[in-house]
Amino acid sequence: MNTDRPPNTVRAYLDALQGALKGSSPGLISDALADAEEHLRGEIASNPERTEAEVLASVIGTYGTPQEIAEEYKTMEAAIAGPFPKPEQKPERHYGFFGVIGDPRAYSALLYMLLSLVTGIFYFTWTVTGLALTVGFMILIIGIPFALLFIGSVRVLSHVEGRIVEGMLGVRMPRRLPAQVSGDEKIWSRIKDALTDVRTWSSMLYLLLKLPLGIAYFTIAITGLAVSLGLIGSSMYALVTNHSTFSIDDVPWLDHLMHTAPGLIAAGACGIFLFFLVLHLAKGVGWVHGRIAELLLVRL
């Protein structure tokens, strides 16, 4: 549905587009806004003799109104197949407690938890080192170019992390890098834009937080897998070989029970139950971390 008064500024157009996309995932809205802003500002830059309102009046006729662009993005998003249900759709299948064994998202979230320690160490080291060098180089002539380069690297890393989050946690994240400033923009304007961009600082915060979060995720995943699979494997081994590896000297009755068939079967059942619990916990961690990534890495 077309509005009575078409937007006459880029900002007004983007605001109308964001309003038309209300309810969609932040990642989709971010991509739509970035594409529209890049296209509109490119048209304005290529027509310096015309006012912004005149350029927009002619461009809207070919590019589309905010409402038309919003519908195109929604249609395109719904048509793109992926491993997980889209944020705008309700999952068709609901997994029960034991049904989680067949949920691929549980395994991908568990793998993400295991990988988070490695990525967290890298992100934290990169960010802390970059900040330290940026501050140190500020007294030198290379300080400003290095600061811009570091901020650019932070945006690239946050984009890469967003792709990992979408691929493994199923949360729709931006699929394109932030629009680059025009080449004729003054260096001080670039610095001002970078420093006043909330996403610059929220992305750095995310990269720093990834280390403590990664340590927590890795510890939870490894502990849960080790205990559950250890109980299952030890119980099966003891039942097959009639040689129990369990040793609980502080609790004699429990130690005796772990050397009997009923006790070993109960230990194996506990291990199986714990494994299902770990999968559900991984899904919960994946959901929470997806919201954190969406909050800190997506700029609207």
Distances (CA, A) of 191 to 51, 96, 187, 197, 199: 27, 51, 6, 10, 14
Q: What is the pLDDT of residue 180?
A: 54
Q: Give the residue-averaged pLDDT of 8-23.
A: 86
Whether the predicted pLDDT of 198 surpasses 70: yes
Query: Distance (Å, rounded) from C-alpha 4 to C-alpha 14?
Result: 16
Helix (H) or strand (E) holding 106: helix 104-137
Whether the predicted pLDDT of 96 surpasses 90: no
Q: What is the pLDDT of residue 31?
A: 84
Query: Distance (Å, rounded) from C-alpha 269 to C-alpha 275?
Result: 10
Summarised one tens digit per residue, pLDDT across range 226-257 is 999 988 988 888 888 887 777 776 767 666 67
Q: What is the pLDDT of residue 169?
A: 93
Summarised one tens digit per residue, pLDDT across range 112-121 is 999 999 999 9
Q: Residue 74 half-sphere exposure, CB side, CA atoms within 13 Å?
A: 15
Q: Give the residue-averaged pLDDT of 139-148.
A: 83
User: What residues does each domain of the chain span?
Assistant: 10-79, 92-300
Whether the predicted pLDDT of 219 surpasses 90: yes
Whether the predicted pLDDT of 83 surpasses 70: no
Computed over every residue of the chain, the mean pLDDT equals: 83
Distances (CA, A) of 223 to 169, 197, 236: 21, 40, 20
Whether the predicted pLDDT of 2 surpasses 50: no
Q: What is the pLDDT of residue 87?
A: 47
